[in-house]
Structure 1
Amino acid sequence: MDSITQALLGASVQGALLGRWQGRKALAYGAVLGTLPDLDVVIDYGDAVANMTYHRGFSHSLFVLSVVAVLLTWLVRRFRPDPRYSGTRLFATIWLVLVTHVLLDAFTSYGTQLFWPLATPPIAWSSIFIIDPLYSVPLLLAVLAAGLFGLSGRIARWPAYALIISTGYLGFTLAGKQMAEHRVQSAVASQGIQAERMFSTPTPFNSLLWRVILVDGEHYYETLVSWWDDAPPTLVRLPRNVHLAKALSDSPQHERLQWFTGNVLRYDEDGNQLLVTDLRLGMTGFHPFRFPLAERTAKGWQLVPLPERLPANRGDMGRLASLWQRIWQQEPALPLAAWAAELNGSR
């Protein structure tokens, strides 16, 4: 999730557990501690693919953060002891502030390596967009109230109430994901499509409209599903160009991307470049993680040793209004094929 939400989450957790004794300082301590796992963004791992796929690695490991919680608890008890609450409560607070950060990240589409250093694929439950006001606003209101009026009396309970509401909202997003996938599975069965894998994710800034991808060899299908749809979803067939991946058989970056994304990738020739796109993130036709992994020369495709991430614009912000309308109205259908064609400048 975004850094502001992570800070609010950390402040709410520490405010709920230690605000009685630490007062407003609990909010500040929790906000700072709640952003600690994301400090790995300052590390340069050598190239853009490595920076993407090693982010949310060791710093988001449940094992590493449990050790960090023990060390921080010892340091605080050693140098800033407070007899009013136990070491067990302090450890539980620090551990929960750190762990709730990475668990919330795992609910997004990016991919979080909760079990690093085990070689398990990243966890991406992909039920909430990276910025979702419905999750963040209850935490914001609770933190503002606690900051203004202190953590005493009824206000002291607000962070706990906000955590209950936000956690309940995460349950709602999981229900939305199941709804969308169930409707698409029914459509797939009726059309006889044999998809290799399915990936579903909410559209930007909401959990009411879902984008579902079906990977099917040289092609993939995309569709949008809303809670209010009364007709089966329309599956739009798009080119994936997986045959181009043969040129990347010796590319460690390509292998890493396949592992990190679950192979939900698209391949395109753009001029003399072979581009690989992570289809999971962003929106149809606007995907922020695109990498030129090979260049065409007189000798054929040559791997790019240190690929860079292509610059990403903010997309067509006017389409947010179209997506908002699509939540409530299934027709007219949005032009997903035309949007996808714009990925390489085609219209």
Structure 2
Amino acid sequence: MDSVTQAALGASIAGAVAGKSLGRSALVAGALLGTLPDLDVVIDYGSAIANFTQHRGFSHSLFVLIPLSLLIGWLLWRWRPQVSLARWLTLVTLVLVTHPLLDTFTTYGTQIFWPVGPPMAISSIFIIDPLYTLPLLAGCLAMLVRPPAHRLVVLGLVLSSVYLGWTLLAQQWMTARVRPALAEAGLEDYRLLVQPMPFNTVLWRATAVTDETRVEVVTGFLDDDQPLTLEHFPRHPELRQSVAGLPEVQRLEWFTRGFLQYDRENAQVTATDIRLGIPGAHPFTFVVASLSADGPAPVNSTQLARPPLRPDAPQILWSRVTGQTPVLCLSNLSTPMPGDGC
């Protein structure tokens, strides 16, 4: 999740656990601890793909954070012994551990069992979702105004947790909706990713990939009973195969679970993480090889600039979320006339 949400979650947990003893300073301690795991972004691992796939790695691992919690909890107890050691350990452990657990609900991927196991990504909530964050901020604000406001802080945590549970139910609902349409379209042996569109859990995007093609579906809870619109995108399997042996490509395939789009661009091979963003505005595209007469040659990966998003994109998205427009074409972020497809 975004830094504001993680800080608000950490502050809320600290306020609930030790707000009566520490007052407003509990919010500060919790917010700082809540952002601690994300400090790995300052580390340069040597290439764009390494930086991309190492983020949310060791600093988000339960094998690292739980021992670290014991150390930090003990140090804070020595600094503020009026709060018991058990309470300090509870506070620090909950704040540090809930950070990667919350990140796991997003699409990016979180290596909570580093150095073993693949990244985990439930993909049921967008990286920024106001309906999750606002209850936490409200509880923190109440504590700032009239500490310790314990009931309101706890209420904020309960409401945000209930909303997180709702995202799981909504995801299953949308998955059940799109699978029959994919079967009717003749898709077999596909991998499916169902995730919310930006800033909400009303409108959802389903991405199904096979070796040859990718299908995108946008559907939401406010849609009528009209048939789903499927958009097809080619995947260029021959290009993928030509760079499959490169270590950085293998790392990227592992991190994204194969949700990649390979393209040729200016005598270079690029790989795009199609899980994040939308077609035409994916934020993570990497140069993975250069093309020559002898075929693709490995390069030290670099990241291309993110394509600019259309100025009217928020308005188009809102119109689709509310059901005012029944179809949203991701290929060009357009809303076709009634009866037309993408």
- Same fold by TM (over 0.5)? yes
> What does the per-residue CA deviation read over 1:190-247, in whole Å, with 9 as the maximum and x for residues that have no partner?
3331142001111111111111100021210001010122223221111111220122
Matches within 5 A, 1:224-303: 224-229=218-223, 230-303=225-298
Give the 3-state SS of the residue equivalent to 2:302 in structure 1. coil
Equivalent position SS for 2:301: coil
Q: 1:314 to 1:164 in 2, by over 3 A?
A: farther
Out of 201, 210, 214, the residue aligned to residue 204 of structure 2 is 210
Question: 1:331: Cα distance to partner?
Answer: 4.6
| TM-score for the superposition, normalised by structure 2 | 0.93
- Counterparts of 1:240 and 1:267, CA distance in 2: 7
Contact 1:109 1:124 in 2 (8 A): yes
Q: Deviation at 1:297?
A: 2.0
SS at match of 1:336: coil
Q: Distance in 2 between matches of 1:236 and 1:195?
A: 18
C-alpha contact (below 8 Å) 1:204/1:283 kept by paired residues: no
Counterpart Cα distance in 2 of 1:33 and 1:314: 34
The answer on 1:53 being equivalent to 2:48 is no
How far, CA to CA, are the matches of 2:173 and 2:291 in structure 1?
44
Counterpart Cα distance in 2 of 1:331 and 1:81: 57
Following TM superposition, by how much is the alpha carbon of 1:339 offset from its aligned partner in structure 2, in angstroms? Answer: 4.6
> How far did residue 75 of structure 1 move?
1.7
Deviation at 1:172, TM superposition (A): 1.1
> TM-score by structure 1 length?
0.92
User: Equivalents in 2 of 1:117, 1:298: separation in Å?
Assistant: 39
Find the aligned partners of 1:169 and 1:314 in 2 and give their Cα distance.
Answer: 31
1:195 and 1:214 in contact (8 A); partners too = no
Indicate which of 124, 127, 130 corresponds to 1:133.
130
Matches within 5 A, 1:314-325: 314-325=308-319
**1:146 counterpart (143, 157, 169):** 143
2:174–2:204 Cα contact (<8 Å) kept: yes
C-alpha separation in 1, matches of 2:327 and 2:80: 61
Amino acid at match of 2:103: D
% identical equivalent positions = 46
- Where does structure 2 lack aligned partners over 5 or more consecutive residues? 335-342
**1:33 maps onto 2:33 in alignment:** yes
* Alignment gaps of 5+ in structure 1: 341-347
> Which of 206, 212, 219 is matched with 2:213 structurally?
219
CA RMSD of aligned residues (A): 1.5
User: Residue in 2 aligned with 1:344?
Assistant: none
SS at match of 2:332: helix
